[in-house]
């Protein structure tokens, strides 16, 4: 016989009035019509579902960080930060837009004016700058009939500086960090400098450029030049031009427009003669792109040598040791022509070649890079071309001086 299913024990309950309510009941759960949340997947499940999609997400596109409000600047402070930024340009269609963008990526600038002084570009440089200027009032295009960088800088300073206290020079063949110009202004105001110069890091892409970069970033290629190797800020007599006080620039007459090269060192000499101060900052560095072929590098350094000779002849300043040593390279190489007559004539050139190649090999071993080892030949091109340019200018000056009338020589001596 089947036993009936046992029933639960019943206990009568009473409400507050004492009435029997029958059987006890479990309290009813509140009912909700909201959809229930799905359980969170484990990290392992997420990694299996969305690894590629997650990697493609740019956090900047979905996360917005609130910026702290910037304190308003007084009218006096705004006036003290205004700058004219000049970019001399000639056939720079590949880089000019990027340089303008880098310079304007500067939160510290107040009412900047970027002036591109074009020396008659035959590519699309002018069209590119004009298009940028059409949508950005901070950028303007100005023709530079003088073509040279020195002429473009002088024309811009005379025409557009106005009441802006700072003049910033920007070269198209360089890379600039964020807040470049405002950092220069801050350094000038902090130190009281009339000019602020910067250090350079040469960067190469192709193998030859990389070899040149290694040479230029070392004593082998620069002889210890401060704006190439310095790591701390200090007062200098010359550096890579970046910023001037407009008053100081005008007081010395700007660049000498007869100089196509070495115009910066020549201007620094005139600043020094007036007691002006030049500060090499360690707050920022720029990247420089060297010439990409041996021929272009030799042409550049031949012009550098000519420019240095003109500066020496104009101001009668002695060469430094790091400049005098390369000066001997061209005569040493010329001495090889006499080596068949007497082997001793070959010694100076052989010593120079051994030193350059040996130093380059040492850099290659130190960096464990075969390209770096080629910095020796790259430096030899630089040394020989610079020396040849210096001597060529010296001979030209000597010949012109010999043929010049006495009245012209007297006028030159008086100036």
User: What single string gives the DSSP state of each residue in 322-388?
Assistant: HHHHHHTHHHHHHGGGGTTT-GGGGHHHHHHHHHHHHHHHHHHHHHT-HHHHTHHHHHHHHHHHHHH
3-state secondary structure of 194: coil
Closest CA to 146 of 263, 289, 252: 263
Reported as a single tens digit per residue, the pLDDT across 321-378 is 877 888 999 999 999 999 999 999 999 999 999 999 999 999 999 989 999 999 999 9
Closest CA to 217 of 326, 349, 367, 370: 367
Supply 149's token pair. Answer: 């960088």
Reported as a single tens digit per residue, the pLDDT across 57-102 is 555 544 444 444 456 778 888 888 899 999 999 999 999 999 999 9
Give the chain's radius of gyration (CA, Å): 35
CATH number at 77-206+226-290? 3.90.550.10
The DSSP symbol for 20 reads B
Please classify residue 250 by burial: count the beta carbons closer than 10 Å to its beta carbon, then call 0-12 exposed, 13-18 middle and 19+ buried. middle
pTM of the model: 0.75
pLDDT tens track, the chain, 415 positions: 444 545 544 444 444 444 444 434 445 555 544 455 555 555 555 455 445 554 555 555 444 444 444 567 788 888 888 999 999 999 999 999 999 999 999 989 998 999 999 999 999 999 999 999 999 999 999 999 999 999 999 999 998 878 899 999 999 888 999 999 999 999 999 999 999 999 988 888 889 999 999 998 888 877 656 656 656 889 998 888 999 999 999 999 999 999 989 999 999 999 999 999 999 999 999 988 889 999 999 999 999 999 999 999 999 888 888 778 889 999 999 999 999 999 999 999 999 999 999 999 999 999 899 999 999 999 999 999 999 999 999 999 888 877 666 545 444 544 4
Kind and range of the H or E run holding 183: helix 180-191
DSSP structure string for 40-93: PPPHHHHHHHSHHHHHH--HHHH--PPPPPPPPPPHHHHHHH-EEEEEEESS-T
In the chain, which segments carry CATH 3.90.550.10?
A: 77-206+226-290
Closest CA to 209 of 286, 285, 288, 293: 293
For all residues of the chain together, what is the average pLDDT? 83
Check the CA dihedral 382-385-387-389 and report its sign: negative
């Amino acid at each position: 016989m089947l036993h009936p299913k046992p029933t639960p024990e019943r206990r009568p309950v009473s409400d507050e009035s004492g009435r029997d309510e029958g059987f006890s009941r479990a309290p009813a759960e509140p009912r909700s019509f909201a959809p229930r949340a799905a359980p969170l997947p484990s990290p392992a499940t997420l990694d299996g579902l969305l690894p590629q999609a997650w990697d493609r997400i740019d956090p900047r596109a979905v996360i917005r960080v609130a910026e702290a409000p910037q304190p308003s600047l007084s009218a006096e402070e705004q006036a003290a930060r205004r700058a004219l930024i000049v970019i001399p340009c000639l056939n720079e269609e590949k880089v000019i837009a990027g340089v303008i963008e880098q310079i304007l990526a500067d939160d510290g600038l107040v009412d900047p004016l970027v002036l591109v002084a074009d020396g008659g570009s035959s590519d699309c440089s002018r069209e590119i700058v004009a298009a940028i200027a059409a949508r950005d009032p901070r950028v303007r295009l100005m023709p530079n009939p003088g073509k040279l960088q020195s002429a473009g800088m002088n024309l811009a300073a005379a025409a557009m500086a106005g009441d802006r206290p700072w003049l910033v020079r920007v070269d198209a063949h360089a890379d600039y960090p964020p807040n470049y110009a405002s950092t220069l202004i801050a350094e000038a105001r902090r130190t009281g400098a009339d000019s602020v110069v910067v250090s350079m890091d040469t960067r190469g892409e192709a193998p030859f450029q990389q070899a040149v970069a290694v040479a230029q970033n070392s004593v082998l290629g620069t002889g210890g030049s401060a704006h190439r190797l310095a790591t701390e800020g200090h007062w200098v007599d010359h550096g890579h031009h970046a910023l001037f006080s407009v008053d100081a620039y005008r007081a010395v007459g700007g660049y000498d427009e007869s100089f196509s090269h070495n115009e910066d060192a020549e201007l620094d000499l005139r600043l020094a003669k007036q007691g002006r101060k030049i500060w090499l900052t360690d707050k920022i560095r720029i990247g420089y792109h060297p010439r990409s072929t041996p021929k272009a590098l030799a042409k550049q350094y031949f012009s550098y040598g000519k420019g240095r000779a003109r500066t020496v002849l104009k101001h009668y300043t002695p060469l430094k040791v790091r400049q005098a040593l390369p000066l001997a390279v061209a005569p040493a190489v010329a001495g090889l022509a006499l080596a068949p007559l007497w082997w001793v004539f070959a010694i100076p050139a052989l010593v120079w070649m051994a030193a350059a190649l040996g130093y380059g090999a040492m850099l290659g071993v130190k960096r464990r890079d075969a390209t770096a080892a080629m910095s020796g030949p790259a430096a030899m091109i630089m040394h020989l071309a610079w020396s040849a340019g210096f001597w060529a200018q010296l001979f030209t000056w000597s010949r012109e001086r010999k043929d010049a009338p006495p009245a012209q020589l007297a006028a030159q001596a008086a100036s």
